[in-house]
């Protein structure tokens, strides 16, 4: 069946929550896309949505130049749901009145259901729904033909509906976790009004993606994929392998700044278990040579990025007839909209693989372009990727080179590698691996005095960094239990000769960053 037969169009007016709307809709098994707010009539027609959601946004509809949608939204004969700015815009465009700035409301509020219609159809009049408000303006007069279906202490039109058409507006945000029943509200709109069936599943996605990849690559085409061991490239590789089998050629570059056992893990998984054609390039010496004497973090990053491209190009030259390059681009990187884009943009901008296609004249295959990170993980599970890979914490492209402060040498890398392996082990053993965003060791260019047995030591200091975060953009230091900290510290100083002191980093981001370089 056509997975994209039931599409919801989300017009983005710039809210920080727009991506959350899309994720909630997808969690309900409904495919949706985020687009510019001013999509033209023709573009909307071509998209053929089953329903349209107007997102929130930071502007005031009364401000000159604030974003508008094409009036066709209300002529397309599909259900429309306006959220926050979306409701105000709907009111403004259809003849209501919006009061600017007089009734700000941020935080929890209670909405009393007045009529069980549209998003509120699973409730009964008189029910109270806890919601999250975040607005400066509010609707003071509804357009002709509309009625209030919910009210709060501060907003007489906290939820509104047209009396005969499937047009609705919510002053609050159903997409955020602070509106506990928000998903039920979206479900009611999608399933009752837009009449979708919820057929967007990862199983279905695989079948469709396999067909699309085969069409794009053709009967003979070969695809090269840079495998890093991270979630995105691993899932992209498995999906491509499902589609074209041995015509996929993966390349894994051992740049000498990987974690302990990483190369063996990737080889065991992809070669032994999934039988994916894989070339491992041992470029350790080459990277270390280039890094010799370099202490500046940005220089380290540039050297590693450049060298990666050079090694990858050389390795792929030997692959006959390859005309495609696979990339694990995700949906947040391709959304064409005005809103805040999330961490992947920043992460991508200094990612090693950037810059490959332009130089290599290969056509791109991006099988994950439509997916959010959560969906990529779900897809990975569906393709048989083991849980420890699916849930793997992020690891930077420049690897341990940016966790060895000062000069990167093999003995210093070995110190951080061994300390890091202990951190990984203990964090997993304590059941904390998926609760923290990242936990790792950093080696400082600092020596301090210690005592071991009867001997005085003068050895390196290692930092333990563990943070919690939702998206990597901001982070807080993790409140690890003292016994876990103690075990990690004791094990590192006992087992890693050359480190006699472990300190814990209690800085948040901002002002610090997650990595030290």
- The minimum distance between CB 280 and ligand XMP, in angstroms, equals 20
Under 8 Å between Cβ of 67 and 57:
yes
Residue 152 or 424: the one with the smaller Cβ distance to ligand XMP is 424
Residue 103 phi/psi, 5-degree rounding, is -130, 60
| 162 classed as catalytic | no
Which of the residues 407 through 446 are near ligand XMP (CB under 6 A)?
A: 438
| 241 classed as catalytic | no
Residue 117 or 351: the one with the smaller Cβ distance to ligand XMP is 351
Residue 141 phi/psi, 5-degree rounding, is -145, 130
Binding of residue 397 to ligand XMP (CB under 6 A): yes
- Helical axes 202-217 vs 231-244, angle rounded to 10°: 70
Residue 109 or 235: the one with the smaller Cβ distance to ligand XMP is 235
Binding of residue 328 to ligand XMP (CB under 6 A): no
Binding of residue 262 to ligand XMP (CB under 6 A): no
Q: How far apart are the first and last CA of the chain?
A: 48
In the list 351, 403, 418, 465, the residue contacting ligand XMP (rule: CB under 6 A) is 351
In the list 472, 499, 500, 501, the residue contacting ligand XMP (rule: CB under 6 A) is 472
Residue 355 phi/psi, 5-degree rounding, is 95, -15
495's tokens: 């087992």
Handedness of CA 114, 118, 119, 120 (dihedral sign): positive
Under 8 Å between Cβ of 139 and 150:
no
Under 8 Å between Cβ of 514 and 465:
yes
- The minimum distance between CB 303 and ligand XMP, in angstroms, equals 12
Residue 136 or 394: the one with the smaller Cβ distance to ligand XMP is 394
* Separation of alpha carbons 232 and 377, rounded Å: 8
* Separation of alpha carbons 207 and 213, rounded Å: 10
- The minimum distance between CB 370 and ligand XMP, in angstroms, equals 21
**Number of chain positions touching ligand XMP (CB under 6 A):** 13
In the list 302, 350, 369, 491, the residue contacting ligand XMP (rule: CB under 6 A) is 350
- The closest of 257, 315, 314, 318 to 285, measured between CA atoms, is 257
**Where does 231-362 show beta strands of DSSP type E?**
248-254, 278-282, 322-326
Segment contacting ligand XMP by CB under 6 A, of 88-96, 127-135, 391-399, 476-484: 391-399
Segment contacting ligand XMP by CB under 6 A, of 255-263, 269-277, 392-400, 448-456: 392-400
Residue 93 or 347: the one with the smaller Cβ distance to ligand XMP is 347
Binding of residue 392 to ligand XMP (CB under 6 A): no
Q: Which of 33, 175, 375, 459 is catalytic?
A: 175
* Separation of alpha carbons 68 and 79, rounded Å: 18
Binding of residue 514 to ligand XMP (CB under 6 A): yes
Q: Helix, strand, or coil here: 294? A: coil
* Separation of alpha carbons 239 and 229, rounded Å: 14
Binding of residue 396 to ligand XMP (CB under 6 A): yes
Residues in the chain: 517
Q: Which of 173, 241, 307, 370 is catalytic?
A: 173
Binding of residue 515 to ligand XMP (CB under 6 A): yes
Which of the residues 206 through 225 are near ligand XMP (CB under 6 A)?
A: none
Segment contacting ligand XMP by CB under 6 A, of 91-99, 280-288, 347-355, 407-415: 347-355
Under 8 Å between Cβ of 154 and 143:
no
- The minimum distance between CB 179 and ligand XMP, in angstroms, equals 29
Q: Please state, in angstroms and as integers, the Cα–Cα distance from residue 105 to each residue in 86, 109, 170, 261, following that order.
A: 16, 9, 14, 52
Under 8 Å between Cβ of 110 and 131:
yes
Binding of residue 271 to ligand XMP (CB under 6 A): no
| 173 classed as catalytic | yes
Binding of residue 394 to ligand XMP (CB under 6 A): yes
Q: Which of 32, 69, 84, 462 is catalytic?
A: 84
174's tokens: 């159903």
Handedness of CA 328, 53, 204, 389 (dihedral sign): positive
Binding of residue 290 to ligand XMP (CB under 6 A): no
Binding of residue 156 to ligand XMP (CB under 6 A): no
Under 8 Å between Cβ of 411 and 402:
no
In the list 398, 459, 484, 493, the residue contacting ligand XMP (rule: CB under 6 A) is 398
Residue numbers annotated as active site: 84, 173, 175
Binding site for ligand XMP (CB under 6 A): 347, 350-351, 394, 396-398, 438, 472, 509, 513-515
């Amino acid at each position: 069946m056509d997975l994209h037969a039931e599409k919801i169009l989300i017009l983005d007016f710039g809210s920080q929550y727009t991506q959350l709307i899309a994720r909630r809709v997808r969690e309900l098994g409904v495919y949706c896309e985020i687009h510019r707010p001013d999509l033209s009539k023709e573009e909307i027609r071509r998209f053929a949505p089953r329903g349209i959601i107007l997102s929130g946004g930071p502007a005031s509809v009364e401000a000159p130049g604030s974003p508008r949608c094409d009036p066709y939204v209300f002529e397309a004969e599909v259900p429309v749901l306006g959220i926050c700015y979306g409701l105000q815009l709907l009111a403004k465009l259809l003849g209501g009145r919006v009061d600017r700035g007089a009734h700000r409301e941020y935080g929890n509020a209670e909405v009393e259901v007045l009529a069980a219609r549209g998003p509120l159809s699973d409730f009964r009049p008189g029910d109270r729904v806890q919601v999250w408000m975040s607005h400066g303006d509010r609707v003071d007069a509804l357009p002709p033909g509309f009625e209030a279906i919910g009210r709060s202490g501060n907003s007489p039109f906290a939820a509104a509906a047209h009396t005969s058409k499937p047009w609705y507006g919510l002053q609050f945000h159903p997409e955020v976790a602070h509106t506990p029943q928000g998903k039920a509200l979206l479900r009611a709109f999608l399933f009752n009004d837009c009449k979708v069936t919820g057929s967007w599943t990862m199983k279905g996605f695989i079948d469709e993606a396999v067909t699309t990849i085969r069409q794009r690559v053709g009967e003979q085409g070969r695809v090269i994929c840079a495998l890093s061991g991270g979630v995105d490239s691993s899932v992209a590789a498995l999906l491509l392998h499902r589609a074209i089998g041995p015509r996929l050629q993966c390349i894994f570059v051992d740049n000498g700044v990987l974690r302990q056992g990483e190369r063996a893990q990737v080889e065991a998984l992809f070669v032994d278990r999934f039988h994916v054609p894989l070339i491992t390039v041992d470029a350790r010496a080459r990277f270390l040579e280039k890094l010799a004497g370099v202490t500046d973090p940005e220089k380290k990053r540039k050297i590693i990025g450049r060298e990666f491209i050079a090694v990858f190009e050389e390795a792929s030259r030997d692959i006959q007839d390859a005309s495609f390059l696979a990339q694990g681009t995700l949906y947040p990187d391709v959304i064409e909209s005005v809103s805040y884009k999330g961490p992947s943009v920043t992460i991508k901008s200094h990612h090693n693989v950037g810059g490959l296609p332009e130089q290599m004249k290969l056509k791109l295959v991006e099988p994950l372009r439509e997916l959010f990170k959560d969906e990529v993980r779900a897809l990975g599970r569906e393709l048989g990727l083991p849980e420890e890979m699916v849930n793997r914490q992020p690891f930077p492209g420049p690897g341990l080179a940016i966790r060895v402060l000062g000069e990167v040498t093999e003995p210093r890398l070995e110190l951080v590698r061994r300390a890091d392996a202990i951190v990984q082990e203990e964090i997993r053993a304590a059941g904390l691996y998926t609760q923290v965003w990242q936990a790792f060791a950093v080696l400082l260019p600092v020596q301090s005095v210690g005592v071991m047995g009867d001997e005085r030591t003068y050895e390196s200091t290692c930092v333990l960094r563990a943070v919690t975060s939702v998206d990597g953009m901001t982070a807080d230091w993790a409140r690890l239990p003292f016994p876990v900290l103690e075990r990690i510290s004791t094990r590192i100083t006992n087992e890693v000769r050359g480190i006699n002191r472990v300190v814990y980093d209690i800085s948040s981001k901002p002002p610090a960053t997650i990595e030290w370089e």
